[in-house]
């Protein structure tokens, strides 16, 4: 139901703007489970981790 979906999104946005929903519930995270070279495709989170390691090896 497209109209129901629009109404739902409007309600969620309103709840976010009025601080009725904790912003931490919107966090999306990725975890690396292999080394950089073990990934066959260049996935964005792997590339980012590689750049971060080059910039700050510690």
State the pTM of this model.
0.46
> What pLDDT, in 10s, does the model give residues 18-49?
999 988 888 877 777 787 778 778 788 888 88
Looking at residue 58, its pLDDT comes to 67
The Cα–Cα gap between 45 and 32 comes to 8
pLDDT of 16 strictly over 80? yes
The answer to whether 49 and 35 are in contact (CB under 8 A) is no
**How many helical (H) and strand (E) elements, i.e. helices and strands, does the chain have?**
2, 0
The Cα–Cα gap between 6 and 32 comes to 35
The Cα–Cα gap between 56 and 1 comes to 48
The answer to whether 12 and 22 are in contact (CB under 8 A) is no
């Amino acid at each position: 139901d497209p109209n129901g979906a629009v109404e739902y999104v409007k309600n969620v946005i309103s709840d976010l703007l009025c601080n009725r929903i904790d912003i931490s519930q919107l966090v999306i995270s990725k975890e690396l489970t292999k080394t950089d070279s073990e990934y066959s495709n260049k996935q964005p989170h792997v590339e980012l981790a590689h750049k971060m390691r080059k910039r700050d090896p510690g």
